[in-house]
């Protein structure tokens, strides 16, 4: 039975960043990962099916984010600026616009006057319940579902206000070679220092007392350390105790369990479609749509799959479809092929191309239904009204022995991003290092 300073459960961005920070400080770690790969909700695939590496999970660096960009620089990994145009398709017409909500200025002004937090839908009903605002309410709900993968019936108005007041849409990047290059760098640093990053190691029980932890896995193995960092997705922590991948604590962590359930966790389905040509840039589509889409980055449509994006500024034949929030949850049990067909049908209606013709152009496709995956069970976190207090509880180590890390514990405008996960992992490792018993 190998003993290390710290056990980390979960080899996603938060867990590996925590491990990396501890190892750089001279500590020993054991990382347990339930999947047969590292990365968590980062999953870059490179195979013969697609012509270039594609991202099933996290894809963008949303802004000039210091932890992410500094780590890439340290690892010698480059990033590419993403320049694109926002297009919308409504009532059969294309329009270049990044104005997603009619009356947005009036709405945000009223929201900025709010003094006490409440679910966003409650705010809308209190301030914009008249029939004349029906379209605006729907647009806002769709925006929250699509961008934040959240349910506006319980999403915090304060948190969304903070996000919308700090948007940095001009600074977007992609990681050269995919996000997994960064993940591999973190894991390799740990392994090269003699530490284990173990795959197919499904943690089942955490037995703890002050400065002593034993983690048992479903295959009967046990791992011993002085501390443990729980770096699992929030959706898995919220799962029933008998669910696949769920862990139990002995003694129980009742206060932390309640806090975990007071933070929202969204749903998402991502659909990657590679065609034999960049058909949306063709003369035929330009004539049909009346728009030149050669610099289109994002396309928003009132359709079953409402969001698509390209690889702009590259003229790649890859289109990515995105469905978030409650609509994604409602489709989580659909077969992948049926979801792909929905995306083709949406593109058919938007671009006025027969579905059969689009199928004939399709050379590769992949559906990433993150909500249906046992070791994820959703997309990323969003705040409920109770979430700030819940985070305070979860950020406090239990007896300086049990620590939590993850993007859901980040408090700032980059919530739900890789930056949030990396920041949390770094912060929790520094908290562990301050512990004199380590």
Q: Collapse the DSSP code of 198 into the 3-class scheme (helix H, G, I; strand E, B; otherwise coil) and give the result.
A: strand
Q: Collapse the DSSP code of 181 into the 3-class scheme (helix H, G, I; strand E, B; otherwise coil) and give the result.
A: helix
33 is in an annotated binding site: yes
Question: Cis peptide before 313, with omega less than 30 degrees from 0?
Answer: yes
Count of residues in the chain: 438
CA distances (Å), origin 161, targets 14, 32, 237, 341: 26, 37, 27, 35
Quick check: 195 and 16 in contact, CB under 8 A? no
How many CB atoms lie under 10 A from the CB of residue 374?
A: 15
Which residues have C-beta within 8 Å of that of residue 309, sequence separation ≥ 6? 84, 297, 298, 299, 319, 320, 322
According to DSSP, the β-strands at 29-32 and 3-9 are: parallel
| Residue 83 phi, psi (nearest 5) | -110, 130
Terminal CA-to-CA distance of the chain, rounded, Å?
19
Q: How far apart are CA 301 and CA 346, in angstroms?
A: 9
Q: How far apart are CA 253 and CA 393, in angstroms?
A: 11
Question: DSSP strand E in 137-201: where?
Answer: 172-175, 196-198
Per 3-state DSSP, the chain is made up of helix, strand and coil in percentages (nearest 5) of 35, 25, 40
Instruction: Give 379's DSSP letter.
Output: S
34 is in an annotated binding site: yes
Residue 290's Cβ-side half-sphere holds a number of Cα atoms within 13 Å equal to 6
Annotated binding site: 33-34
Annotated binding site for FAD: 33-34
């Amino acid at each position: 039975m190998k003993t290390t300073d710290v056990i980390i459960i979960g080899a996603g961005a938060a867990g590996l960043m925590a491990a990396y920070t501890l190892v750089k400080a001279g500590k020993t770690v054991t990382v347990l990962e339930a999947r047969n790969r590292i990365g968590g909700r980062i999953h870059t695939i490179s195979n013969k099916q697609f012509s270039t590496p594609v991202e099933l999970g996290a894809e963008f660096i949303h802004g000039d984010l210091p932890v992410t960009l500094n780590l890439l620089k340290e690892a010698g990994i480059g990033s590419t600026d993403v320049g694109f145009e926002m297009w919308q398709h409504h009532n059969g017409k294309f329009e270049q616009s990044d104005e997603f909500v009619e009356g947005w200025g009036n709405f945000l002004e009223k929201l900025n006057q709010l003094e006490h937090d409440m679910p966003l839908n409650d705010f809308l009903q209190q301030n914009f319940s008249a029939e004349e605002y029906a379209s605006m309410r729907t647009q806002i709900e769709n925006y929250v579902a699509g961008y934040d993968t959240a349910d506006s019936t319980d999403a915090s108005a304060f948190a969304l206000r903070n996000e919308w007041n700090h948007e940095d849409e001009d600074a977007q990047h992609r990681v050269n070679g995919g996000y997994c290059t960064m993940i591999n760098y973190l894991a390799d640093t740990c392994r090269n220092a003699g530490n284990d990053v173990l795959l197919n190691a499904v943690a089942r029980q955490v037995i703890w007392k002050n400065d002593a932890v034993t983690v048992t896995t479903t295959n009967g193995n046990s791992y011993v350390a002085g501390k443990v960092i729980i770096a699992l997705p929030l959706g898995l922590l919220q799962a029933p105790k008998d669910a696949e991948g769920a862990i139990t604590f002995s003694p129980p962590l009742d206060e932390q369990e309640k806090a975990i359930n007071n933070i929202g966790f969204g749903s998402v389905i991502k659909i990657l479609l590679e065609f034999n040509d960049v058909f949306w840039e063709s003369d035929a589509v330009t004539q049909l749509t009346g728009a030149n889409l050669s610099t289109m980055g994002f396309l928003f449509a009132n359709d079953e799959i409402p969001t698509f994006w390209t690889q702009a500024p590259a003229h790649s034949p890859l289109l990515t479809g995105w469905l978030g929030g409650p609509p994604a949850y409602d489709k989580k049990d659909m077969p992948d092929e049926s979801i792909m067909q929905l995306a083709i049908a949406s593109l058919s209606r938007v671009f006025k191309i027969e579905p059969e013709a689009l199928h004939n152009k399709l050379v590769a496709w992949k559906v990433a239904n993150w909500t249906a995956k046992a070791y994820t069970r959703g997309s990323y976190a969003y705040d409920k009204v109770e979430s700030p207090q819940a985070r305070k509880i979860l950020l406090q180590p239990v007896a300086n022995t049990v620590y939590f890390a993850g993007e859901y514990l980040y408090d700032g405008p980059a919530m739900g991003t890789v930056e949030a996960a990396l920041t949390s992992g770094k912060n929790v490792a520094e908290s562990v290092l301050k512990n004199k018993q380590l």
